[in-house]
Structure 1
Amino acid sequence: MFFNLGVRDFLDRAELVYGDRVAVVDEPEQPAASWGELTYRQVAQQARGQAAGLDALGVPVGGRVAIVSHNSARMLTSFFGVSGWGRILVPVNFRLAAAEVGYIVEHSGADVLLVDPELRGLLDTVRTKHVFVLGEDDQAVFGNREQPRPWDGDEAATATLNYTSGTTARPKGVQLTHRNLWLNAAVFGLHTTVTDNDVLLHTLPMFHANGWGMPYIVTGLGGRHVVLRKIDGTQILRRIAQHHVTLLCAAPAVVNAALDAARTWDGEIPGRDRVRIVVAGAPPPTRTIERVRAELGWEFIQIYGLTETSPLLTVNRMRTEWAGAPAREQARLLGRAGTAALGVRLSVDDSGEVLARSNHNLDGYWDNPAETARVQEGGWFHTGDGGTLTDGYLTISDRKKDVIISGGENISSIEVEDALSSYPAVREAAVIGIPDEKWGELVTALVVTDGTPVTAEQLITHCRAHLAGYKCPKRVEFLDALPRTATGKVQKFKLREPFWRDRDRQVN
Structure 2
Amino acid sequence: MRKPLLVTEFLDRARRHYADQEAVLATDGTRYTYDELGARADGFAAALQQRGIEHQDRVAVLDPNTHYHLEAAYGIFQVGGVHTPLNYRLTPDDYQYILSDAGVDAIYADYDYADKIEQVRDEVPTETFITNDPDAVGGDWESFDDIIDGVGADDYTTPEMEEDEICTINYTSGTTGDPKGVCRTHRCETIHAYLTSHHQNISDDDVYLWTLPMFHANGWGHIFAITGNGGKHVCTRGVDAAGIFEAVREEDVSYMCAAPTVLNMLLDHYAENDVTTVGDNDVRCATAGSAPPEATIRTLEDEFGWYMMHVYGLTETGPLITTSNARRTFDDDSSDRFSIKKRQGLGFLGTEVRVVDEDGNDVSRGDDEIGEVVVKGNQVMEKYWNKPEATHEAFNDRIEGYFHTGDLATIDEHGMISIQDRKKDLIISGGENISSIEVEDALYDHPEVSEAAVIPAPSDKYGETVKAFVVPMNGNPDDPGVTEDDLKGFTKEQLASYKRVRRVEFVSELPTTATGKVQKYELREQEWGDEDRMVGQG
Report if TM-score (shorter chain) is over 0.5.
yes
* Residue 387 of structure 1, aligned match among 396, 399, 409: 409
Aligned partner letter, 2:15 = E
CA 1:233–1:86 in structure 2 vs 1: closer, same or farther (change >3 Å)?
Answer: same
Report if the CA contact (8 A) 1:272-1:297 is conserved: no
Q: Which letter maps to 2:378?
A: N
Matches within 5 A, 1:27-176: 27-28=27-28, 36-122=30-116, 123-126=118-121, 127=124, 128-136=126-134, 137-139=143-145, 141-143=147-149, 144-145=151-152, 146-176=154-184
TM-score (norm: length of structure 1): 0.79
Q: Which string of whole-angstrom CA distances, capped at 9 and with x for unpartnered residues, describes residues 387-419 of structure 1?
A: 12222111111112459xxxxxxxxx99xx9xx
Letter in 2 for 1:387: A
Opposite residue 313 of structure 2, the aligned amino acid is: G
Is the CA contact (8 Å cut-off) linking 2:253 and 2:281 kept in structure 1? Answer: no
After TM superposition, the structure 1 stretch with the greater mean CA deviation from structure 2, 128-137 or 264-273, is: 264-273
Q: Find the residue that maps to 1:376 and give its secondary structure.
A: helix
Which of 238, 243, 253 matches 1:235? Answer: 243
Partner of 2:518: 506
Q: Does 1:349 align with 2:351?
A: no
CA deviations over 1:77-117 (Å, ceiling 9, x no partner):
22211123310011000010111011111110001011110
Secondary structure, aligned partner of 1:66: strand
Would the aligned equivalents of 1:259 and 1:296 in 2 still touch at CA under 8 Å?
no
Counterpart Cα distance in 2 of 1:169 and 1:494: 23
Tell me what 1:466 maps to: none
Q: The residue matched to 1:228 in structure 2 has which SS?
A: coil
Q: How does 1:477-496 map to 2 (within 5 A)?
A: none
Q: Which runs of 4 or more aligned residues in structure 1 lie more than 6 Å from their structure 2 counterparts after TM superposition?
A: 483-488, 490-500
For residues 420 and 457 of structure 2, the distance between their equivalents in structure 1, rounded to whole angstroms, comes to: 18
Structure 1 equivalent of residue 138 of structure 2 = none
Aligned to 1:469: none
Q: Distance in 2 between matches of 1:141 and 1:7?
A: 24
Q: State the 1:167 CA deviation.
A: 4.7
TM-score, normalising length: structure 2: 0.75
> Relative to 1, partners in 2 of residues 1:214 and 1:486: Cα closer, same or farther, differing over 3 Å?
farther
- Aligned partners of 1:199 and 1:245 also within 8 Å: yes
Contact map agreement 1:218 1:225 (CA 8 A) in 2: yes
What's 1:15 paired with?
Answer: 15
Per-residue CA deviations over 1:22-63 (Å, capped at 9, x if unaligned) read 1000112xxxxx7x1111011111111111111111111000
Q: Any conservation in 1 of the 2:245–2:276 contact (CA below 8 Å)?
A: no
Separation in 2 of the partners of 1:353 and 1:447?
22
> For residues 92 and 239 of structure 1, do their structure 2 counterparts lie closer, same or farther at Cα, with a shift above 3 Å needed?
same
Matched residue type, 2:408: G
Structure-1 residue corresponding to 2:200: 192
Partner residue of 2:345 out of 331, 338, 342: 338
Distance 1:149 1:369 in 2: 33
Moved more, 42-51 or 366-375: 42-51
- The amino acid across from 2:416 in the alignment is Y
State how far apart, in whole Å, the 1-side matches of 2:297 and 2:419 are.
Answer: 16
3-state SS of paired residue (2:55): coil
Tell me the amino acid that sits aligned with residue 280 of structure 1. Answer: A
Overall identity of the aligned pairs, in %: 32
Are the structure 2 counterparts of residues 361 and 445 from structure 1 closer, same or farther at C-alpha, using a change threshold of 3 Å?
closer
Kindly state the Cα deviation for residue 194 of structure 1 after the two structures are TM-superposed: 0.7
Structure 2 residue 400 is matched with structure 1 residue 376: no
> How many Å separate the matches in 1 of 2:61 and 2:456?
38
The offset of 1:170, in angstroms, is 1.3
Structure 1 runs not aligned, ≥5 long:
29-33, 404-412, 418-431, 433-443, 451-477
Moved more, 492-501 or 385-394: 492-501
Matched to 1:268, the amino acid is: T
**Contact 2:78–2:158 under 8 Å retained in 1:** no
- Residue identity opposite 1:380 in structure 2: Y
> Displacement, 1:133?
1.5
* Residue in structure 1 matched with residue 218 of structure 2 by the alignment: 210
Contact kept in structure 2, 1:303 and 1:337, CA below 8 Å: yes
In structure 2, relative to structure 1, the CA distance for the partners of 1:87 and 1:141 (3 Å cut) is farther
Residues 1:359 and 2:378 are matched in the alignment: yes
Secondary structure, aligned partner of 1:118: coil
What is the Cα deviation at residue 152 of structure 1? 2.2
**Matches of 2:312 and 2:91 in 1, distance apart?**
28
Describe the superposition over 1:313-372 as per-residue Cα deviations: whole angstroms up to 9, x where unpaired: 101115255227642x21111100010000100112213111000001110000000000
**Does the C-alpha gap of structure 1 residues 219 and 325 become closer, same or farther in structure 2, counting only changes over 3 Å?**
closer
Question: Could you tell me which amino acid in structure 2 is paired with residue 297 of structure 1?
Answer: G
Conserved in 1, the CA contact under 8 Å of 2:252 and 2:280? no
Distance 1:206 1:496 in 2: 36
Shift of 1:449: 6.3
SS of match in other structure, 2:277: coil
The equivalent of 2:322 in structure 1 is 314
Q: How many residues align?
A: 436
Distance 1:148 1:285, change over 3 A: same
